[in-house]
Structure 1
């Protein structure tokens, strides 16, 4: 692990020989601070078998990816700092533009998608002039936080991010150094990351006048955003902030875009867990989008499911997972088949409708969304869509 972290994984359909394929570029979650795009869950062959090229991205995270500081701003030719992780994503998209045709991909049909913090990365790129023309569609899975959220602020100004950087420098005892930037760089990166974690500060993309010119709502209302088709949603049992954020974002996003928006509520879990009263928790839809049931174990161990561990104690265990396995049956296969088809059809055409299911675009007037269950249903009333 190091700051040398900008790497891509590319998976293509086996044996495909024909017209250029849609490209789906995945940004992993983890609150801009943790996790990886390298897991087998995101790099298996199931999604590419739907006729798309899948690219997963690793990039700088946490303070190495997002911490700003007045000393770093002063030495920048653009008079900015932070946003390094997002600049990595811009560089990754430029690489896709310039090279993906060699892998059978279409550089003129690129969809960015991400979940949780990865959804926040997608939103940030929608709001960045530096990403203009580098993608053509966007999917935000459980990544819209409300206007009062701290982890993914709607308008995170450079000055606020600089204040967080000062707090880290003070914790490390270098804020009063003659050259604060040099003193920070001299600190081993694990110590820097530990100090940032201990500070309780959450680092995220900031409005610096270059990477982002304004808060995202102001950009939409001024028509300065990257106006591409968007698909967005949250899970039935998602975190309250992300449910509230979806409800808050969608009306004004749709009203201020020429391109279509499609909204979903994911509402499915395997029978064993749903029979215990568990709702589709934060991250549950990833199992079905990528068709990788092995992710249930990591979700269980991360405590996302909200289920009690049969072994007892405060920490979920592999033994408890084996005793309380979610199961996987034809109902789950049906859901993953539908979701992979919808996600890739959106990447292909800008419309996620599939045979036998017409998914209407959302507007603030029709307030229409798709509830994704074993039998997906078109419903209205997003404000009342969650328990």
Structure 2
């Protein structure tokens, strides 16, 4: 039941809150929050989980939020973290109503029956995407009410973005007692999970049954959390939608074709005419965000020896990741809305084949068989899709299977008329409204292809919510009236989401094997990044291990 103290405090503070909010109160570790209830779900928005990282606290690890007295209004989401705006024509345009450095807040949706103590509900913590540069938990396509209505407590978090979340710098490393810098956004996510651990039960959730889930950069963050020693025990299952197991900068040394994180930070400071951290901290936040974005700052986690001890793929190879069940998957048309990642299409097949042979050497015949020159543009789109998102998803699921955990792979291959008309079937992030049950809400985004609210679309969404929430509950995804989802360890089983779910096996096995060989050679060589450079822009591939070992 609702803690008696919360109800008493709410009544005492009734003058501060609208009458409709008085009954929806919960006692958290910081104080009482008052949200709103609609049907069977209560929502509590804009709850701070960490102090504002402003002034001297800019680029420091998060500190738990201070306590407050009285009842805090939790009827509205907090401001988004500082970020540049999407271009007006971007399909992903989703302008936050407010931005601030004081942005470390979260939203909670809780089923009323769970909140009054009928049972401990599974908890799902959403980490939004946006290249670690944009996005916010108050977006209409991240509303957790439809998932919560299935008996789940849903939490969505803000975390520091762009230069505020991912700047490494020699001075920041010297300030740190861990001699580390560059992972402030990841540390925010960990602090939010600590808040969930401490407060889930107050909302009817089970702190011992927490699932993290995220899309794109949110899925990259999921993998970071799976490999970070700082997040151990804070979650128990993971879902990665369209993740990318990218090569990351290391803190103090150049590696894998990337400058060190500290080198990048020093360069950014010099370019912005703010060569010291004191100078950078004095720059207005919005000005700094815009200048960093215009200057090409690419936010990425840093292998700092503390929050991240090694490259993600190395941690998974060594079996150091969290021992939790995983769902991982990707979309058929990932690159159709990410054209900035796709190089110009060669004029003809001869040029395409020449480029591939020069770059892939002994693997060129295999490459051209899988990605033929007879359909150059499609081959290029599939090369990047399979090499970035597909290989990552397959490898993540198989890595968990290798340590005795369940690994479930999916392939989202669903489209609808408006997306087809734009030649964007199953585009990047198009599964998100289906996972959240927000087909109508997605249509409120100005440039999103409008989803028809037909039985076919809502039926697929219902199935996906069923799979996701049952996985959160038990570690095994299932949905009423839908096929059983095979574990990848069972003959390479996976689930295809097309017009309806379909259980299959052997997804792009030859393609992922080719990419694994490419990644393995580049990792051994140590001078090339891996999934960023593919196809006709790939650097010449290092020799096979046997060839590399031959004496001159």
TM-score normalised by structure 2 residue count: 0.61
Native 8 Å contact 2:140 2:442 kept in 1 = no
Aligned to 2:413: 267
After superposition, residues 248-259 of structure 1 pair within 5 angstroms as 248-249=391-392, 250-251=394-395, 253-254=399-400, 256-259=402-405
Q: Tell me, yes or no, if the aligned pair for 1:171 and 1:195 is still in contact at 8 Å.
A: no
Inter-partner Cα distance in structure 1 for 2:499 and 2:291: 46
Unaligned runs of 5+ residues in structure 1 are 146-152, 306-324
User: 8 Å contact 2:111–2:149 — kept in the other structure?
Assistant: yes
The CA distance in 1 between the partners of 2:172 and 2:422, in whole Å, is 51
* Whole-angstrom CA distance in 2 between matches of 1:90 and 1:228: 17
Residues 1:12 and 2:12 are matched in the alignment: no
Structure 1: how far apart are the matches of 2:101 and 2:142? 22
RMSD: 2.1
1:144: Cα distance to partner? 2.2
- Is 1:328 the counterpart of 2:450? The answer is no
1:172 is displaced (CA, Å) by 1.4
Q: In the alignment, what sits opposite 2:305?
A: 209
CA separation of 1:298/1:385 partners in 2, compared to 1, >3 Å: closer, same or farther? Answer: farther
The residue number in structure 2 matching 1:361 is 487
Matches within 5 A, 1:1-387: 1-16=99-114, 17=116, 18-145=118-245, 153-159=246-252, 160-175=260-275, 180-239=276-335, 240=381, 241-249=384-392, 250-251=394-395, 253-254=399-400, 256-274=402-420, 278-297=424-443, 301=447, 325-356=450-481, 357-363=483-489, 366-383=491-508
**Aligned-partner Cα distance in 1 for 2:422–2:193:** 42
Cα separation, partners in 2 of 1:28 and 1:276, compared to 1, 3 Å: closer
Where 1:360 maps in the other structure, the secondary structure is coil
Decide which structure has the larger Cα Rg and report it.
2
CA distance in 1, matches of 2:464, 2:151: 14
Return closer, same or farther for 1:66/1:378 CA change in 2, 3 Å cut-off.
same
CA shift in 2, pair 1:189/1:242, >3 Å: farther
Native 8 Å contact 2:412 2:498 kept in 1: yes
**Where does residue 346 of structure 2 map in the other structure?**
none
Query: By how many angstroms is 1:154 displaced?
Result: 3.0
Alpha-carbon distance between aligned partners in 2 of 1:91 and 1:235, rounded to the nearest angstrom: 30
How far apart, in 1, do the equivalents of 2:287 and 2:171 lie? 19
For 1:228 and 1:254, the matched residues in 2 are separated by: 7
Structure 2: runs of 5+ lacking an equivalent: 1-98, 253-259, 336-380, 512-552
* Count of matched residue pairs: 353
Greater relative CO (CA pairs within 8 A, separation 6+): 1
- For 2:272 and 2:447, how far apart are their aligned partners in 1? 32
- 8 Å CA contact 1:41–1:294 kept in 2: the answer is no
Aligned equivalents of 1:232 and 1:86: distance in 2? 20
Q: Aligned equivalents of 1:107 and 1:13: distance in 2? A: 15
Deviations 1:274-309 (A, max 9, x none): 47754111111011111112454366626xx6xxxx
Structure 1 pair 255–341 and aligned structure 2 pair: CA distance change class (3 A): closer
